[in-house]
Structure 1
Amino acid sequence: MSSEAKKYIKETRNQAWGITAFLIVTLVAVIAVSQGFLLPASDKPEIWFQRSGSIIVVVALFLEYLVQKRLEAFSNGEVPPWEAGRLYKAFYQKLAVVCVIYGLLGTMVWGYGDLIYLKFT
């Protein structure tokens, strides 16, 4: 495999892991907020849980932008059609769906987070 191919694979793998890690860290932060960690003493947890929905939406939009940018590179032929390229394209397509779901869940939490929190506590 050429050095260009190895460089591309390493770059794509690092970006994919970075996006996945960012999604997980955001989810952990939302759970921590909903459980009472990271809260100012003056606010109720349900309000902070609701506010965390906005963070989820912003993260989802940012990551969706990164994923779409990478998928455009596949479509424009900027990415050589190696086997690894096809595998990463499939991964990025699945990651795009995850980002949309993440954005929808964030919107629900942002709009109804206080009610959701009170329902399940």
Structure 2
Amino acid sequence: MTLPEWQKLKDEPKIWFQRSGAILVCLAIMVEFGILKILKMEHESRETVSEQAGERAYKTMYFLGHILAFLFAIVGTLVWGYGNIIYSHHFGN
């Protein structure tokens, strides 16, 4: 008797933890593209409206977005590359 195809794909939790790093890297890319979209929208609206409070909010959101994308990329890359080791060290086997 053979196993169904979906049961052959079962992996250990440490492998799924490692794969979650790839998802974090994808999220970092999505955040960066979101920032680029915001930059484009801000540039187009700058010609029509110039409010100091709006400018400050925009710069804060832009800065936080870059920090978030950078952290996602770094943590995601580390988990993607070494997630199985990290998982085994903290959770055992």
TM-score with structure 2 setting the length:
0.73
1:78 to 45, 48, 73: 45
Task: Specify the alignment match of 1:52 in structure 2.
Answer: 20
CA distance in 1, matches of 2:70, 2:44: 25
1:62 aligns with 2:30: yes
1:81-92 aligned within 5 A: 81-82=50-51, 83-92=53-62
Identity of aligned residues (%): 35
CA distance in 2, matches of 1:94, 1:42: 37
RMSD: 2.1
Residue 70 of structure 1 and its aligned partner are, at CA, apart by: 1.0
Q: Which has the higher contact order (CA 8 A, sep 6+)?
A: 2
Q: 2:18 touches 2:80 (CA, 8 Å); kept in 1?
A: yes
Unaligned stretches of 5+ in structure 2? 1-6
Task: Specify the alignment match of 1:100 in structure 2.
Answer: 70
Q: 1:57 touches 1:107 (CA, 8 Å); kept in 2?
A: yes
CA distance in 1, matches of 2:50, 2:19: 43
For residues 85-113 of structure 1, give each alpha carbon's deviation from its aligned partner in whole angstroms, at most 9, with x where no partner exists.
Answer: 32132122222111111111101100000
Structure 1 runs (4+) greater than 3 angstroms displaced: none
Unaligned stretches of 5+ in structure 1? 1-39
Q: 1:53 touches 1:108 (CA, 8 Å); kept in 2?
A: yes
CA distance in 1, matches of 2:56, 2:87: 41
For residues 28-56 of structure 1, give each alpha carbon's deviation from its aligned partner in whole angstroms, at most 9, with x where no partner exists.
Answer: xxxxxxxxxxxx79310000000111111
Deviates more, 1:88-97 or 1:102-111: 88-97
CA distance in 1, matches of 2:41, 2:84: 40
User: Kindly tell me: are residues 84 and 115 of structure 1, through their superposed partners in 2, closer, same or farther at Cα, counting changes over 3 Å?
Assistant: same
Query: What amino acid is the match of 2:33?
Result: Y
Q: Size of the alignment, in residue pairs?
A: 81
